[in-house]
Amino acid sequence: MVSERGVGNTIIRLCKGDITAFEGDAIVNAANSSLWMGSGVAGAIKRLGGESIERDALDKAPIEPGEAVVTEAGSLNVKYVIHAAAMGDDLATSEALIRTATQNSLYKCDELQISTVAFPALGTGVGRFPVDGCAHAMLDEVLLYLQEETDTSLREIVFYLFGEETFQSFSRALEKVRA
């Protein structure tokens, strides 16, 4: 199931499924500030992409909550993994951290001239942040970024959403986005 919306030269697309199946330039990992990859999205990326992703991330750790760093992508079908620290070592998050991690991930995309990127719902698994709040915060940040960065390299921003409830929350939030 897919839903999408165009904003300037960029398409925002929602997909229900596993982010590790994405084929494009980069995927975003829902990371903690120490960048160790345990469960949830990070665990799936490590399992399918290989432990070299975590080793590369740990070499760049620690980072401040809200920051993002880029690593290689192991055996995934992308070039890069962008580790967005949507929570600290306490595994707690907030709307502000989700917004900042989203924004910093988008900046990394433009630094690397990435045209296609996939995001998970940051902070909603281990961080236990409400999905509706996450959807609003992330889509709002993407829209603000696309409005401010008119020369962005990004042509497609995909949200890979695990489960029907999460997909529906993002779908409702995307309908409210004023493009």
Domain limits, the chain: 2-176
End-to-end CA distance of the chain: 22
> pLDDT at position 126, please?
87
Q: Which helix (H) or strand (E) holds 162?
A: none
Q: What CA–CA distance (Å, rounded) separates 27 from 50?
A: 14
Alpha-carbon distances of 78 from 56, 81, 130, rounded to whole Å: 15, 8, 28
CB atoms within 10 A of CB 75: 9
- Sequence length of the chain is 179
> pLDDT at position 76, please?
98
Q: Are 81 and 45 in contact (CB under 8 A)?
A: yes
Residues of the chain with pLDDT under 50: 179
Fold of 2-176: Leucine Aminopeptidase, subunit E; domain 1 (3.40.220)
Residue 142 CB-half CA count within 13 A = 32
Sequential DSSP letters for 110-129: HHTT-SEEEE--TTSSTT--
> pLDDT at position 178, please?
58
The reported pTM is: 0.96
